[in-house]
Amino acid sequence: MAEREEEPQNPIQNHGIIGDMRSAALVADTGSIDFFCWPDFDSPSVFSALLDSNAAGIFQLAPRLPDARREQLYRPNTNVLHTRWISKDTVVEVTDLMPIGRSKDDLPRIVRRIEVHNGQATIAMRCHVRLDYSRAAMTSRKDGGDICFEADGLPGMRLSATTALQLDNGAATAEFVLHQGDCVEFVLGGLDDPAVNAGHCPRYLTETIAFWRHWSQQSNYRGRWREMVNRSALALKLLTSRTHGGIVAAATFGLPETPGGERNWDYRYTWIRDASFTVYAFMRLGYTDEATAFMHWMHGRMGDCCDETNTLGILYALDGRDTLPETTLPHLKGHAGSTPVRIGNEAYQQVQLDIYGELMDAVYLANKYGNAISHEGWQNATRLVNYVSEHWREKDVGIWEMRGEPQHFLHSRLMCWVALDRALRLAVKRSLPAPFEHWIAAREAIHNDIWENFWNADLGHFVQYQGGHSVDAAMLLMPLMRFVSASDPKWLATLSAIESTLLRAGMMHRYRNDDGQHDGLSGDEGAFTACSFWYVECLARAGQIEKAHLEFEQLLRYANPLGLYAEEFDPHGRHLGNTPQALSHLALISAATFLNRKLDGDKTLWQP
């Protein structure tokens, strides 16, 4: 199969994801793996066609059936992906998976299995590995029946197959005919990894299916939309590092929030905010081990910061690194021509005071439904909460990581209140020592500050930041965090303002670039998936059950055919931004569980 650089990029929503909780790959419904970082989530990419052309690295495997219908589906309750081609006389299926290593240090492998269920077909395969974000000078060679991909100073990769492989311009290729019942297997992994052996694919498939089904069966969710909730949980599990315990915000980097624009970020890191919300979602479904693993990972970050400044980083690499300089990859033309393609993320240098609230909410819930906090853990938490009590009056860039001027953002102020509130609740619940009078006074001061300085009596609603006039979808968390009653008239007036300003066809924008407050970037972004689900939960909590139900059903239609969501939607409901996005899926879980409970008349016992 000759490589054709002019082939169009696959749309973001046309991808499934496979992974082993150390790395992940995106598989398009064309049979192409066009995004893959190896050996870890935040390692350099080896397939980057989604961000450039096929020459940037791709693993193509498909029948020559140009008129066939294509579809993708997951093996039920697993992250094993099937891609099918259905024509008049022929049915072909590719099964993609990444086996779960027996050790957490095992290198990731991609296993691909193509078989013909009906008729016969000519199959074409091309695997073009481009190490180091397609920057490395590659050499390829045959080693017996395998193809090896190498570059000086970098770990190499090997492709094994149960069919003959050829070399073509640095890529491994194969073309063969399969008849009904025939099957060919491919395994891609580490250069010296003995598990890269195409003869063992049936065992890899059986073991991987068993792993994911065993994990899925631990969910305690039995309500409506169970398939979507379980798919979201499986996506979140894929984004969880079994090596370290951290949770990445998304599997990808560089996918645009604005087609052709500059809003192209790297989300392959652990944001304290997003990961803390993920713990909340896992706890709702009964997955306490994941919450415990994250809190163990978080214990290391809290210990590091409390030894020095008592300030917490915004985001971290999975191995705990807190310095993630942002650079660009000018040799990549970007998805849909969106440049620059960025790796690293300058947000690590920002001040975002809200993260303390999200973290303490997760700590509180983990203690309520999981393991009790350790003595050292509570000491670290106490230092962080003391920091909040002293610094909550300061400006920051807010939850949306504005690259404009810092402000007194309502959401940041709200989450400072949450940090103190949850710390006080936990101290009382566990009889832990704390400076109660100081914390209570700070909590009350923040509460009063929000009502006095962020409620605009002239406009009749809360505002995004002190002195401003706009609303912000982060304000939807006010009732979800139990700061204000979901039926309070002033909150309902604010909800109405948010609807009229930020909502369109069930899709909620985070904010508008008006009111003199700009985010420091050109162009507009899409509607934010997580905010759209927060809106549904706000409606349900306000007793607007029928409206919430309808809005939720509409949002479900915006998922891709596999039930996955990226970060944002364009005006047509197509996906934008990095994918799959943890925040999108955890917000779906939260909205589904609460709305289901309301539809059942609050019979469910689990309470946040």
Dist CA 531 CA 508 (whole Å):
6
Listed in sequence order, the residues at least 6 apart from 449 whose beta carbon sits closer than 8 Å to its beta carbon are 393, 413
CB distance 568 to 579 below 8 Å: no
Residue type, 560: N
pLDDT on residue 403 = 76
- The dihedral over CA atoms of 232, 238, 240, 242, expressed in degrees to the nearest 10, equals 140
DSSP letter, residue 577: S
* pLDDT averaged per 10 residues, the chain (length 608): 62 98 98 98 98 97 96 98 97 98 91 98 98 98 97 97 97 98 98 93 94 97 97 97 92 96 95 90 91 85 67 90 95 97 95 94 87 90 95 95 88 98 97 98 98 97 95 97 97 98 96 64 86 98 97 98 98 97 97 96 54
Q: How many residues does the chain have?
A: 608
pLDDT on residue 307 = 56
Residue 541, SS3? helix
Of 245, 237, 399, 400, the closest CA to residue 317 belongs to 245
pTM of the model: 0.95
Listed in sequence order, the residues at least 6 apart from 486 whose beta carbon sits closer than 8 Å to its beta carbon are 479, 538, 541, 542, 543
CA distances from 50 to 15, 34, 45, 440 (A): 10, 5, 11, 51
Dist CA 151 CA 148 (whole Å):
10
Dist CA 240 CA 566 (whole Å):
17
CA distances from 500 to 237, 306, 414, 534 (A): 36, 43, 23, 16
Beta-strand ranges (E) seen in 476-589 are 503-504, 507-508, 527-528, 568-569, 575-576
Beta-strand ranges (E) seen in 183-292 are 183-190, 253-256, 264-266, 270-271
CB distance 267 to 341 below 8 Å: no
User: What domains does the chain contain, in order, with CATH numbers?
Assistant: 12-194 (2.70.98.40), 224-599 (1.50.10.10)
506 phi-psi bin (left φ>0, alpha ψ -120 to 50, beta other): left
Of 32, 40, 79, 45, the closest CA to residue 332 belongs to 45
pLDDT on residue 518 = 60
Dist CA 150 CA 69 (whole Å):
37
Dist CA 99 CA 78 (whole Å):
12
Residue 517, SS3? coil
Give 341-399 pLDDT, tens digit per residue: 999 999 999 999 999 999 999 999 888 887 889 999 899 999 999 999 999 999 999 99
CB distance 52 to 329 below 8 Å: no
Question: Does a cis peptide bond (omega within 30 degrees of 0) precede residue 202?
Answer: no
Residue type, 188: L
Task: Determine phi and psi for 454, rounding to 5 degrees.
Answer: -120, -5
pLDDT on residue 2 = 43
CB distance 102 to 164 below 8 Å: no
Dist CA 25 CA 28 (whole Å):
10
Dist CA 74 CA 111 (whole Å):
15
The continuous run of DSSP H or E covering 452 comes out as: helix 436-453
pLDDT on residue 309 = 65
